[in-house]
Chains A and B, each alone.
Chain A
Amino acid sequence: MLAAIGLESIDQLFSGIPEKLRLRRLLDIPRALTEPELLDYFKDRAARNAADYVSFLGAGIYRHHIPIIIDALISRSEFYTAYTPYQPEIAQGTLQAIFEFQTYIAQLTGMEVANASLYDGSTGVAEAMLMAQRISRKNKFLVAKTVHPEYRAVMDAYARNLGIEIQLIDYTAEGRVDMAQVERALGKDVAGIVVQSPNFFGTIEDTALISDLAHRHDALSIINIAEAVSLGILKPPRDADIVVGEAQALGVPMSFGGPHVGFLATRDRYVRQMPGRLVGMGKDYSGKRAFVLTLSTREQHIRREKATSNICTNQSLCALMSTIYLATLGPVGLAEVCEHNILKTDYAVGQIRSQTPHRVLFPAPRFNEFVVQLDDRYASRVERLMQNNIVPGLDLSRFYPELRNTLLVCVTETTRKDQIDALVKGLA
């Protein structure tokens, strides 16, 4: 091959690089490993993560059962080794699957249209904020303190240089967003209000009321869904303007925080302000149904600095996982999973109330998470549970210093009764 190019050595291939910039030593990285060594290396590291603990952690990443067929299907190299479907004639598989994802998300959220995915829930809600800024041409956002704290941190990082002002809204003793405070803060300058449901404390918000209040003040209603399984049974936020969130709960492994999959849904009239890719249904020149990336004049490869977002690569394969999850469960299976989450969580709350001295905070209805406030025996209780291989939940003071000695506990359909009982016993 070198001869065909007219060169004598590999080194000459790099003649375009000035000699003074060449690295004339080997990189200082570990020596090459063979396949058996690689397996050993990673099995050893994987074993140093405690997968065998009973975990009550949720807080934005949920442990639901993932049907086996998802991995079987997404492991087809036709799906996982293909690029973004820029050549529709040889990418109809990916395109149709994304169109199905968009439809499922629209159905679940009660919105008219959904995009092909965003990186995750946290960047999704930041993108939703920028979208609302474009639609409203206003810069102030009211954001509930019960929006996932890491999502709020990402919103801050995105907002900082764009003239956006974020005003936080407190939660009530019920564990919901303080509507009176929202009402006081709403004014002509407010672009939108951002509320999560179920919120970070697991409490279900009345999204219809929130949207109504926003609309009465000419502000947009942005509802964030971090636990997408809940949409299988909870009333969708139909009155919102943007529904944005995280679909990890729908069939995507927790995987130490990623890759997961963000979604963004809205009303038809805002579609040209949406970030991210969209797949449309059209026809080929002979009239056959066909799918294709569309409305790309919003996007960076055409609009460059005027694009609605800088996103290019998104989370297509994870969106496919969620699509297969929804196809496998169907509306009935999904509602049953929701029912198990609600009833097991309700059981856990009841047991903690009756069997332990601790307080379960926030009486509003909840989906699969709740907050327990322990007394000053907090540290010893948590330690005892950990010794029994139980991670009892998230220490909320990490994000809410006012909530000392409190745990955010998540119970899903995968949590067995004996595991709940062990948690309760450990807390008692």
Chain B
Amino acid sequence: MSSNHQRTGSHFQITERLVFEEGSPGRRGFDLPELDVPRKDVATVIDPSLLRDGIAGMPELSEVDVIRHFTRLSTWNYHIDLGLYPLGSCTMKYNPKINERVARLEGFALAHPYMPAELIQGALEVQKTLETCLAQISGTDAVSLQPAAGAHGELTGILMIRAYHQSKGNPRKKILVPDSAHGTNPASVTISGYVVENVPSDRRGMVDLEHLKKVVDQDVAAIMITNPNTLGVFERDIAEIAELMHSRGALVYMDGANLNAMMGITRPGDFGIDVLHINLHKTFTTPHGGGGPGAGPVAVKKILEPFLPYPTVGRQAGGNYFFDHDRPQSIGKMKAYNGQFGMHVRALCYILANGPEGLKEVSEVAVLNANYIRAKLKDAYAIPYDSPSLHEIVFSDRIQARKDVHSGDIAKRLIDYGFHPPTVSFPLIVPGALMVEPTETESKQEIDAFIEAMLAIAKEAEENPEIVKSAPHSTRIGRIDEASAARKPVLRWRPE
């Protein structure tokens, strides 16, 4: 590794035991105020047979113990505030700090959804305003903020498609899913009671319209399409695909995970999509939190509006907002209350901070950055589908594989260069995929440093493949023996 590429080195690191191995009896991290009602023995209030006898193995810690423990753990994480996080499909962009501030305002944090409507007008207005913005951005007519994440939005949307067909007398049987789709797509279809039929991608990496013409029959309820798809490619025939589906009585679901490529550029509702989900934790900067919480609102055209989960947020003539439970054709409830409200506040804050010009520029710069990386790396890494890229670019390890260096190795070696790796687990149609999504929040300097690292690794793969195959070399722990971990899973701590 040449010194000008090197962003990592060794630094002060403290290993940390499990919280269950820390502390000592009698320590406490929290005191309650004095009990201000008469003290009684709890056993006189609740039958002692219903009470437990301690909690085996639960540690006793001081406040400082707890702070130190979790602070030390935190230092072992890579995170977006540290540097580029080019996970394709995940849209790891900077999460503005003001989002965090406003979501914590007491009026939001302490709000209870069962409060009488007149006491939660502010929260309802936030939800309604966000719904309106998302409908405008996606070119749709109505939005439900209820789904908890992308996959939950998928399930919600497919259930609405089912309810729609049911209302016409026949729910139909199948949903078409392109082979490039994310794993949640087929999984959501199954839970909706439909059968998945895979659709092969053509040489462009796009859905093959001619193939569709042959397979769309009376049993097909919808196609579930990702656009731009998971190769970062815009489905050129999308309008014709939608027309075909509609002409055969079927609907079009869009996985909106990649909306970051097209805000203010083109709108799903305008190219024939009937329903899509939107990942607020991708496009709209709500933080990923180490794996959630996210939020996956669904946006629909008029024909699906009656089937939205209840409640929807309504507004009375006098201007007051309310939860509308009177939705006779609704698919029902997908989650208690009305969604991941804390994420809604953050997403609205982001939209308002950007405005119409700002959101368009977000997509423009996201696409610019991805294409810049493509141009700079196209000689060093194979590009399996050479259709134009939008916000992400999928390379493959075909060149490096000749030296037995695979995408997973390249990913691990990037860690030594101080970057989080790209996505390597999908799309499944690209063997050895390296899916790179820089997002718009990265500077040219940061992107150039990433490009240099990728080029250096390509060179290493030629000249010194071992160093790539045994990476990472700079982390606290090395590669993990995942097979053994899965063969004899240890999923919790137990006292020795």
Contact = CB atoms under 8 A, between A and B. Distances in A.
A106 B239 CA distance: 51
B427 to A, nearest CB: 11
Interface string B472-483: 100111111110
A313 B342 contact: no
A102 B491 contact: yes
Closest 6 CB pairs of A and B: A257-B337, A161-B193, A46-B107, A32-B355, A317-B289, A282-B485
A51 B485 contact: no
A384 interface: no
A48 B249 CA distance: 45
Contacts of A391: 115-116, 119
A206 B50 CA distance: 7
A157 B309 contact: yes
B384 interface: no
B292 A96 contact: no
Contact of A113 (B125, B183, B492): B492
B374 to A, nearest CB: 8
B311 to A, nearest CB: 10
Contacts of A305: 186-187, 189-190, 196
A365 B45 CA distance: 7
Contacts of B317: none
11 contacts: A18-B236, A29-B355, A48-B125, A49-B119, A161-B193, A257-B341, A283-B485, A292-B482, A312-B150, A328-B30, A336-B32
Contact of B333 (A157, A313, A337, A394): A157
A97 B77 CA distance: 11
A4 B379 CA distance: 14
A280 interface: yes
Interface in B345-376: 345, 349, 351-360, 364, 367-369, 371-372, 374-376
Contacts of A84: 288, 290-292
A43 interface: yes
Nearest to A345: B45
Contacts of A1: 368-369, 372, 444
Nearest to A289: B477
B52 A59 contact: no
A16 interface: yes
B332 A156 contact: yes
Interface stretch (A186-194, A210-218, A232-240, A352-360): A232-240
Contacts of B59: 327, 330
Interface string A21-53: 111001111111101001101111111111101
Interface string A97-141: 111101110111000111011011111000000100000000000
A85 B236 contact: no
A59 B337 CA distance: 11
Interface stretch (A66-74, A167-175, A177-185): A66-74
B336 A67 contact: no
Given A84-B290, A277-B291, 6 more contacts: A49-B123, A112-B492, A156-B333, A259-B148, A328-B30, A330-B28
Interface stretch (B151-159, B210-218, B398-406): B151-159
Given A16-B387, A28-B356, A310-B191, A99 B18 contact: yes
B209 interface: no
B111 A346 contact: no
Contacts of B16: 96
A235 B52 contact: yes
A365 B85 contact: no
B79 A106 contact: no
A343 interface: yes
Interface centre among A44, A116, A257 (most CB of B within 10 A): A257
Contacts of A50: 115, 119-120
A90 B415 contact: yes
B29 A284 contact: no
Contacts of B375: 4-6
Interface residues of B, number: 195
Nearest to B337: A257
Contacts of B292: 84, 117, 259, 313-318
B143 to A, nearest CB: 13
B30 A92 contact: no
A342 B45 contact: yes
A41 B154 CA distance: 32
Contacts of A39: 98, 101-102
Contacts of A32: 352-358
Question: Interface centre among A17, A316, A340, by most B CB within 10 Å?
Answer: A17
A22 B105 contact: no
A81 B114 contact: no
Given A23-B265, A256-B337, A283-B481, A48 B486 contact: no
A17 B232 CA distance: 12
Contacts of A312: 149-151, 182-184
A336 to B, nearest CB: 6
Nearest to B91: A83
Interface in B146-188: 148-152, 154-155, 159, 162, 171, 182-184, 186-188
Interface string B405-434: 000000110010000110001100000000
B457 interface: no
Nearest to A117: B292
A80 interface: yes
Interface string B9-52: 00000001011100100011111100111111010011101111
A379 interface: no
B288 to A, nearest CB: 5
Contacts of A339: 35, 42
B336 A121 contact: yes
A90 B77 contact: yes
A100 B108 contact: no
Contact of B73 (A33, A97, A161): A97
B258 to A, nearest CB: 13
A400 B56 CA distance: 39
Given A47-B122, A87-B78, A256 B265 contact: no
A84 B490 CA distance: 20
A257 B51 contact: no
Nearest to B332: A157
A428 interface: no
Interface string A309-350: 111111111101001101111111110111110111011000
Contacts of B95: 77, 80-81
A17 B391 CA distance: 13
A26 B361 CA distance: 11
A48 B116 contact: no
A148 B151 contact: no
Contact of B265 (A14, A114, A304, A344): A14
Interface stretch (B62-70, B298-306, B461-469): B62-70
A72 to B, nearest CB: 7
A280 B149 CA distance: 24
B115 A94 contact: no
A340 B32 contact: yes
Contact of A365 (B36, B46, B126): B46
A295 interface: yes
B81 interface: yes
B333 A150 contact: yes
A310 B51 contact: no
Given A234-B50, A313-B281, A317-B293, A150 B108 contact: no
A288 B374 CA distance: 38
B290 A80 contact: yes
Nearest to A326: B58
Contacts of A258: 148, 293, 335, 337-343
B159 A161 contact: yes
A2 B368 contact: yes
A89 B475 contact: yes
B331 interface: yes
Contacts of A28: 136, 356
B339 A346 contact: no
Contacts of B243: none
B341 A290 contact: no
